[in-house]
Amino acid sequence: MKKLHILIASAIFTASLFAQSPEKMSYQAIVKDASDNLVRNQSIGIQINILQGSLSGTAVYVERHFPTTNSNGLVTMEIGNGTRVSGDISAIDWANGPYFIKTETDLNGGANYTITGTSQLLSVPYALHAKTAESITDTISETDPVFGASVASAITATDTAYWSNKLDTVTKAYVDARIIELLCQQGIGTVSDYDGNEYEIVKIGNQVWMAENLAYLPSVSPPSNGSYTVPYYYVSGYEGTSINEAKSTDNYQTYGVLYNWPAANEACPTGWHLPSDDEWKELEMFLGMSQAEADGYLERGTDEGGKLKEAGSTHWPSTNIGATNSSGFTALPGGWCLTGTEGGFHLFGAYALFWTSTQHNIDSYWYRRLGWENSKVFRANNGITDNGFSIRCVKD
């Protein structure tokens, strides 16, 4: 079967959706064929399915488009303005989610769809549902109790003698964070990679992780070069091929190396390995996620990402929400590398992306993402193997 890749740099492989009024959403995607070539100035067929409940849920609305990609392989459409197949987009109850968008694509411009992709709709349903608020007619039901007596009436002067004494009070969140810090053992030693670089390590639960991004660099390439199967190594912002030049850059010395998946799978030093999806789940659950949350897709948990991110704004944006680094993991925002003729470095300084060793299909793997805008952990399975992500090794 001929394969087609649809990528969006600004949203990490996810179609970009923006709420409009009335019931329409803008959709943009970059289209590549199985050889990683942009599909330029070509008519294609795309069927949009809005699914309710899950990745395999019921299609509540289906429509078809037959757009033409531009010279950069970009296709732009309005969901809600195509040829309707079934359902009514204006009748969707956006409050009764979650909702997912499934795209089916025919590279030849017809309706013989050979490639599919599904991702969750996040902010768009809320934006569309918000416009219905003006029609809400439900009455307000007051549930707070009404007290007929005052306990304070029995308080005497003796009872208030020490009212101004300072008492130590802390929140549960503060206590939980301190417990994590006590259980996570930092400064327990170092490990060296194949280049001789030394890394701080940290014990989190029953696992021992590198507390720094791996920087092993046997070769270096610009983003224009890449492969799904051959190891490639990248340094954010560096476009050359000199290892010494790349190693002299601030980005290398702070954020390490971005590896395509074949390189990531063999980069960890002896006695260490690229963590699996399940090993990442173990880390996340030790930091507070439930099993159900850890098994979820996209943004999960509450503050586990904040416990992994380096605190402050030395390397993250000033609005580095929820970052405490109570685990000692010290995640840094190395961004990611999109490879090929339209390749480049993206999201540097704002997001940290880490490979896992767990395969999803022939050329994609599970990965994790931490962002400046919240303290959750993003989990997805559409990390294409030719892209460059950071890695953290875990001890065997």
Residue with tokens 């296709």: 75
Count other Cβ atoms within 10 Å, centred on residue 286. 18
Which residues on adjacent β-strands are paired with residue 102? 49, 118
H-helix segments, 64-107: none
Q: Looking at residue 135, what is its pLDDT?
A: 60
pLDDT of 177 strictly over 80: no
Least confident of 61-65, 120-124, 316-320, 356-360: 120-124
What is the distance between the terminal CA atoms of the chain, rounded to a whole angstrom? 38
Contacts of 147 (CB under 8 A, 6+ apart): none
Q: Looking at residue 11, what is its pLDDT?
A: 31
Higher pLDDT, 286 or 9: 286
Mean predicted confidence (pLDDT) in 262-285: 96
Higher pLDDT, 13 or 217: 217
CA 249 – CA 235 distance, rounded (Å): 9
Q: Looking at residue 266, what is its pLDDT?
A: 95
Q: Looking at residue 18, what is its pLDDT?
A: 43
CA 27 – CA 7 distance, rounded (Å): 12
Mean predicted confidence (pLDDT) in 78-99: 88
Token pair for 306: 């904040």
Mean predicted confidence (pLDDT) in 174-185: 56
Mean predicted confidence (pLDDT) in 313-334: 92
Q: Name the DSSP class of 235.
A: -
pLDDT tens column, 119-139 = 887 655 555 656 555 566 666
pLDDT of 114 strictly over 50: yes
pLDDT of 61 strictly over 60: yes
Q: Name the DSSP class of 197.
A: -
Token pair for 354: 């880490």
Token pair for 56: 């395999």
**Cα angle vertex 362, ends 358, 363, to 5°?**
80
Q: What is each CA distance from 54 to 95, 108, 355, 366, in whole angstroms?
A: 14, 29, 25, 18
**Cα angle vertex 247, ends 306, 384, to 5°?**
55
Q: Residue 308's Cα: distance from chain center in Å?
A: 14
Percent of the chain with pLDDT over 70: 77
H-helix segments, 214-255: 243-247, 250-255
Q: Which CATH class is domain 4-132?
A: mainly beta
DSSP helix/strand/coil, 377: strand
pLDDT of 12 strictly over 90: no
pLDDT tens column, 377-391 = 999 998 999 999 999
pLDDT of 55 strictly over 80: yes
Least confident of 103-107, 257-261, 308-312: 103-107
CA dihedral 52, 57, 62, 68 (to 10 degrees): 100
What amino acid is encoded at 74 in this protein?
Answer: L
Q: Is the peptide bond before 223 cis (omega within 30 degrees of 0)?
A: no
Count other Cβ atoms within 10 Å, centred on residue 67. 19
Pick the closest to residue 8 from 80, 73, 102 (CA basis).
73
pLDDT of 300 strictly over 90: yes
Mean pLDDT of the residues in the chain: 83
What are the residue ranges spanned by the domains of the chain?
4-132, 176-395
Q: Looking at residue 29, what is its pLDDT?
A: 79
Higher pLDDT, 146 or 176: 146
pLDDT band at 178 (very low <50, low <70, confident <90, very high): low
Higher pLDDT, 248 or 97: 248
What amino acid is encoded at 15 in this protein?
Answer: A
pLDDT band at 1 (very low <50, low <70, confident <90, very high): very low
Burial class of 350 by CB neighbour count within 10 A (0 to 12, 13 to 18, 19+): middle
Q: What is each CA distance from 19 to 16, 26, 27, 125, 130, in whole angstroms?
A: 10, 7, 10, 8, 11
pLDDT of 176 strictly over 70: no
pLDDT band at 182 (very low <50, low <70, confident <90, very high): low
Q: Looking at residue 10, what is its pLDDT?
A: 31
